[in-house]
Amino acid sequence: MISLTAPFTEEKIRALKVGDEVEISGVVFTGRDAVHKYLHEGGALPAEVSFQNGIVYHCGPVVLRDEQGAWKVVAAGPTTSIREEPYQGEIIKKFGLRGVIGKGGMGDRTLAACQEFGCVYFHAIGGAAQVLAECIKRVPNVHFQKEFGSPEAIWEMVVEKFPVVVTMDSHGNSLHKKVYDASVAALAKRL
């Protein structure tokens, strides 16, 4: 298990390879369809949010307030990432992302951006939303909640030992593409 702690530098990210099991500790921001589309179309991040050398999590967390009024994440499972494929490569480039967390992988444009700009795709386990939420230690802030709604907002989360697997690296390797190509080849032999 590789421990990846903030700051998430290009050097740390380029050292990762497909298949590496990683535990992330530091600040992670959520971002789903509305945020990706907004940023792709020229929208700006709030002044207090920086994706530079950061990680975006494709997640619509379930977040409640505790008795003291602090945000508490009770479920934080990954959402299907391929929906962000039209936007992700440009957002990696424009905002200097080093990592994207989601499930199911992404396509060739995102893979090319990962290779060119030093970013990786981390696969988080689907169906483990409550377990993953236990790795979120604090929620300092939420942005665009009124504009986009709670699941689509940008949640700023401090995570500790958040478990993921590198499935697309900055060297042009994609486990998703490898599995797809092998499946197509196996199917062709049966037809």
56 touches 110 (CB < 8 A): no
Name the burial class of residue 42, with classes exposed (0-12), middle (13-18) and buried (19+) by CB atoms within 10 angstroms of its CB: exposed
- The values of phi and psi at residue 14, to 5°, are -70, -20
Closest CA to 31 of 93, 102, 113, 94: 102
The catalytic residue among 36, 58, 123, 143 is 36
Q: Is 123 a catalytic residue?
A: no
Asked if residues 36 and 97 have their Cβ atoms less than 8 Å apart, the reply is no
Q: Which residues is 24 bridged to in the sheet? A: 4, 162
Which position has the token pair 């200097």? 96
Residues with a known catalytic role: 36
